[in-house]
Structure 1
């Protein structure tokens, strides 16, 4: 699939890896090597430190340089484990010797680990490499060097670690030491960590990542950490811990039924939660299934799993903004964007993406590689709505639009832009999500798929970060999410989220009841999906009347009472007041040009929005949210959105109308 160009892009602004078809095992090996090669110019003389940019993190610079060294090992070790080779392997061999040698302090030494030290994270790929690629990481070391590696890794056995997925990093350090026969392997510490990690399991294949009672089930619970770690362990520890390994494979089979809902037919995964700069690590779970040789649950087959992974890699290979001119990763998502990053994202952090290269440890004879890549997307998984009970999501790919409705997730500790990453009503693989650049204007707030509220006349805005009382309800065959938000004392916002319906597949419905017992007027602004905000000429969309809007080359914004619609080469996005008889609020429709670099996928976005100033004690809003993304690189046209926008509008279920009528 050729990538869609959102604007008049210069011909030289192309992704450096787009010529690779990424169809075979050899193609994926070449992709990995092409990503490893540029790191040579940024590597220290002793190989232990890779410096990729001048950025700040909450941890020290030496740990950031260790990230640059360690994280590419996920890919390099997998390549070697699968029988591949890489001419630059010696850089990492030397780096391990020098990074763990305290006599190199001030030069190449990584430094000793303290409690909750970022260095602990990087022990995970190092331990994995010891286990699967000892020819690079161990066999060439002399006894003194092996002693120093063991001593350095062993430090974490006596240090405090966060009570999260981080415990897996110590497990992997010990697993690696055990595989190479190091006397520093601590079996008691590893078993205690494993037993505790198993208490995170909450059913249906899902494990929480954080305190009990807090719903934070993002990619760390799947491809970034927990699921992948369990699958790698199930392969490497089968002889020592067979019962636990089988349990992990069982969890993965259950989890796969839910996780497939986060991917679309074009290979994109739905951006949700933190660490989006890890990019194609989103698809590492599919690679880990192959690495662990899990027997797959129907309707998934190895050809389907291969397609899910390779389409995701192809998508990322075609994103020019994901790479610097020399082929190293930028910090961001589809383009360089520090606004979305967390305070633990260094320039080397991005190479967590290399977990997706676990598939290279799988031999060519494995059906993952030997079977032909499967259909675009399993037929049985298309055009459906599925309730995902544990993450409090409702997934839908009706109408060519893959999304999740969400209520109840939140981060248990401070994370930059946490409200945007966990608190939105909907998240989309096609449109991504936006993060605020500030909170003084709606342009700064970039409140896509949120309801922003203000109690100071619009001087500052607030979006939900802590959702309360979130639950599913099923009435007359329809399941929706219902939840509460309390932005200020005396203000309550209750929300119902209803998924798309076959009769209106491009829409989902939101209903809000806002109670205000304060003396303040509550201003609200509810956004739909943020969409690329330029026409084919690269200029900002203009406001047009409905008769002008349409045609293969006519794009623009529609603004009127109760409606806002934006049509661009990326598709169409809109919001309407459904205005049932019980709804008292009639809102103004506006297309807001959000601040540049707020959306993950496009740097210049426009956001259809409904505005209202509430002085009454109670107001109900009923909102239809419309989205039709362009697929397969074709330009948008009136035919692609007009029928859905005008003729297939949704309705509010009678059960909710009764509540609105009182």
Structure 2
């Protein structure tokens, strides 16, 4: 990299604005090698999405266009790389029905609705330097192409913002638009709001990075770059969205590890450092409570966490890993990472570039927080730098949903250092084995509570009927939910997580005896070489991580399962687990300590006592702290 690190201005990342600009230029130059002859597509290498190569080429165009737009806008129109000229050619060809590179219209293909928003946003951002200089005929064709979004059906998720952005640009460009469409879409957005500034990507419990890189990003950009004064967007609505973003960022900044990794949870993780977008938009619009120096630290940490060697972004995490792609993912999809470069739209004199970097919360002390909307207990220790969540409210489903668990949503834990495995036996789960050795599922559970107890102890509980689901015939597109099939119902399972100083005590109880044993599995740790394990102990080590499960009550055996090819973080993955010796006793409480760290001395385990009525568990740590934890009564559950 040509720019020299500046450890005075950026003591944590070393990066200045020049580094981000150089990265943007390298990404654009590398992607530009795959530009089609007329410039309307960027046909990146890799497997096609279900939408086909033409759509994928449009996606490559639109998402790299975001990078170019942020770059030029932040330079006040300067374009030393000559990038806008290439995109101007592409606009002319892509919107020309007679061109061999004509784009599928939004009225014809759903994915075009997504990419139309990126195109409209950049045209608005760079209006004096691109839109205003296009030929009238090209402008007319662009308007005609974009205008096919009007009146089209949009799924009631983050997609509604794509139509709002497009029609708002059309309005300002003198084209057709529909106030009714915008009002309808704003109503959908309002329905997605949840406590604490969080938003669910749909009416399921779909909490993931879309909350930040879509559902917070677009409303704030819309009010900042478009003329939305008057009844279209009253001031009260703008204030509400700003307050939502501030509250959300207070949580989100605690979901980033000291190595810059965002939480490995939820779909579309191939977008990588797009997770930095809500931090940048908070600074860009002046709505964030985070200081400029902390904003650059958290956003820059995420951008720098990923390789920046100038090659194309692949479908994967640190490198290509095809199993991470969803059906809608094409070779151009990872370039939504462009949103993580939104900071470049701010000029060099902005405080986000000139203030000294400040440390992340996990770099100044331990983290412990309850996040109500997704049902998460957020925890992290400064000594490890790993941010983790214990999950009792997110599954990309609704209570009573009979589908299988989605590994990216329904696990009991997610972190910035581990990836939920895609193997046959789940990590971070409490499950029952059937006679064929299949693990049960518990998506569709009910959240009982998530709270902070005295002494900084966090506790959360969830409950639901487990089931075994034969998903072999379900070939539906993967959008994050579990899969359907014939269901064999099982008993009601209650799970409670209690976390103190980054260490979890996990409790489990069943209302009836299943046919097979109960298992409680821990964190998956991955490495290029096989993790080290020992006989009769549920513990595994890699060069950087340790995962352990220590039985406290009821579990008779301790083992580790080791798999290959199930994680983008390393060829080998180990998952420790404890199990009962035969079917568990109905109503009995089973307990284990679940640990993820980077090694070091073990924290002493608490003792555990159960009240006579079976409704309360008391944990007592050797230093004298005690915590009383409620075990929810068994409720009537959906089959």
TM-score, normalised on structure 1?
0.81
1:114 is the counterpart of 2:107 = yes
1:205 is the counterpart of 2:197 = yes
Provide the residue aligned with 1:38 in structure 2.
30
Find the partner of 1:429 among 416, 436, 440. Answer: 416
Q: 1:238 to 1:112 in 2, by over 3 A?
A: closer
Whole-angstrom distance in 2 between the partners of 1:466 and 1:314: 37
Whole-angstrom distance in 2 between the partners of 1:417 and 1:266: 33
Provide the residue aligned with 2:623 in structure 1.
none
1:451 is the counterpart of 2:430 = yes
Q: Compare 31-40 and 391-400 and name the one that shifted more.
A: 391-400
Find the residue that maps to 2:67 and give its secondary structure: helix
Provide the residue aligned with 1:335 in structure 2.
319
Q: Deviations over 1:455-514 (max 9, x none)?
A: 1241x3334332224432566664411111322324221100112x2xxx3521110112
> Is the Cα contact below 8 Å between 2:207 and 2:396 reproduced in 1?
no
1:92 is the counterpart of 2:87 = yes
> Is the Cα contact below 8 Å between 2:555 and 2:591 reproduced in 1?
no
Q: Compare 238-247 and 340-349 and name the one that shifted more.
A: 238-247
1:512 is the counterpart of 2:481 = no
Q: Name stretches of at least 5 consecutive residues in structure 2 with no aligned partner.
A: 6-12, 468-488, 611-615, 619-628, 634-639
- The structural deviation recorded for 1:178 is 3.4
Correspondence list, 1:44-193, <5 A: 44-83=36-75, 84-85=78-79, 86-104=81-99, 107-114=100-107, 117-135=110-128, 137-179=130-172, 181-193=173-185
Provide the residue aligned with 1:568 in structure 2.
542
1:605 is the counterpart of 2:561 = no
Q: Compare 302-311 and 470-479 and name the one that shifted more.
A: 470-479
Q: Compare 26-35 and 240-249 and name the one that shifted more.
A: 240-249
1:648 is the counterpart of 2:604 = yes
Whole-angstrom distance in 1 between the partners of 2:444 and 2:564: 25
Provide the residue aligned with 1:484 in structure 2.
463
Whole-angstrom distance in 2 between the partners of 1:432 and 1:27: 29
Whole-angstrom distance in 2 between the partners of 1:151 and 1:239: 22
- The structural deviation recorded for 1:118 is 1.2
How many residues are matched?
Answer: 576
Q: Deviations over 1:406-455 (max 9, x none)?
A: 012122499x996211111111112233223xx3xxxxx3x221134321
Q: 1:653 to 1:280 in 2, by over 3 A?
A: farther
Q: Compare 24-33 and 84-93 and name the one that shifted more.
A: 84-93
Find the residue that maps to 2:538 and give its secondary structure: strand
Whole-angstrom distance in 1 between the partners of 2:242 and 2:452: 32
Find the residue that maps to 1:227 and give its secondary structure: helix
Provide the residue aligned with 2:593 in structure 1.
624
> Is the Cα contact below 8 Å between 1:64 and 1:346 reproduced in 2?
yes
Find the partner of 1:523 among 517, 528, 551. Answer: 517
Find the residue that maps to 2:132 and give its secondary structure: coil
Provide the residue aligned with 1:28 in structure 2.
20
Find the residue that maps to 1:255 and give its secondary structure: helix
Provide the residue aligned with 2:613 in structure 1.
none
Find the partner of 2:534 among 558, 573, 589. Answer: 558
Larger relative contact order (CA 8 Å, sep ≥ 6): 1
- The structural deviation recorded for 1:315 is 1.0
Q: 1:469 to 1:376 in 2, by over 3 A?
A: closer
Provide the residue aligned with 2:471 in structure 1.
none
> Is the Cα contact below 8 Å between 1:102 and 1:111 reproduced in 2?
no
Provide the residue aligned with 1:614 in structure 2.
582
Q: Deviations over 1:116-142 (max 9, x none)?
A: 711101111111111101245412321
Provide the residue aligned with 2:240 in structure 1.
247
Find the residue that maps to 1:231 and give its secondary structure: helix
Provide the residue aligned with 1:494 in structure 2.
494
> Is the Cα contact below 8 Å between 2:116 and 2:162 reproduced in 1?
yes
> Is the Cα contact below 8 Å between 1:528 and 1:574 reproduced in 2?
yes
> Is the Cα contact below 8 Å between 2:429 and 2:521 reproduced in 1?
yes
1:306 is the counterpart of 2:296 = yes
Q: 1:473 to 1:303 in 2, by over 3 A?
A: closer
- The structural deviation recorded for 1:526 is 2.5
> Is the Cα contact below 8 Å between 1:577 and 1:623 reproduced in 2?
yes
Whole-angstrom distance in 1 between the partners of 2:463 and 2:223: 40
1:465 is the counterpart of 2:443 = yes
Provide the residue aligned with 1:636 in structure 2.
none
Find the residue that maps to 1:345 and give its secondary structure: coil
1:366 is the counterpart of 2:362 = no
Q: 1:497 to 1:189 in 2, by over 3 A?
A: same
Whole-angstrom distance in 2 between the partners of 1:466 and 1:328: 39
Q: Compare 39-48 and 612-621 and name the one that shifted more.
A: 612-621
> Is the Cα contact below 8 Å between 1:116 and 1:160 reproduced in 2?
no
1:397 is the counterpart of 2:380 = yes
- The structural deviation recorded for 1:316 is 1.2
Q: 1:170 to 1:412 in 2, by over 3 A?
A: farther
Q: Compare 610-619 and 161-170 and name the one that shifted more.
A: 610-619
Provide the residue aligned with 1:289 in structure 2.
282
Provide the residue aligned with 1:9 in structure 2.
none
Find the partner of 1:355 among 339, 342, 345. Answer: 339
Find the residue that maps to 1:486 and give its secondary structure: strand
Q: Name stretches of at least 5 consecutive residues in structure 1 with no aligned partner.
A: 1-15, 440-444, 542-555, 580-584, 630-639
Q: Please give the root-mean-square deviation of Cα atoms over the aligned residues, in Å.
A: 2.8
Find the partner of 1:315 among 305, 318, 324. Answer: 305
- The structural deviation recorded for 1:63 is 1.6
> Is the Cα contact below 8 Å between 1:491 and 1:516 reproduced in 2?
yes
Find the residue that maps to 2:535 and give its secondary structure: strand
Find the residue that maps to 1:522 and give its secondary structure: coil
Q: Deviations over 1:18-75 (max 9, x none)?
A: 9977611111010111111111221111111111234243323322221111111222
Find the residue that maps to 2:547 and give its secondary structure: strand
Provide the residue aligned with 2:624 in structure 1.
none
Whole-angstrom distance in 2 between the partners of 1:473 and 1:371: 36
Correspondence list, 1:270-285, <5 A: 270-285=263-278
> Is the Cα contact below 8 Å between 2:362 and 2:387 reproduced in 1?
no
- The structural deviation recorded for 1:575 is 0.7
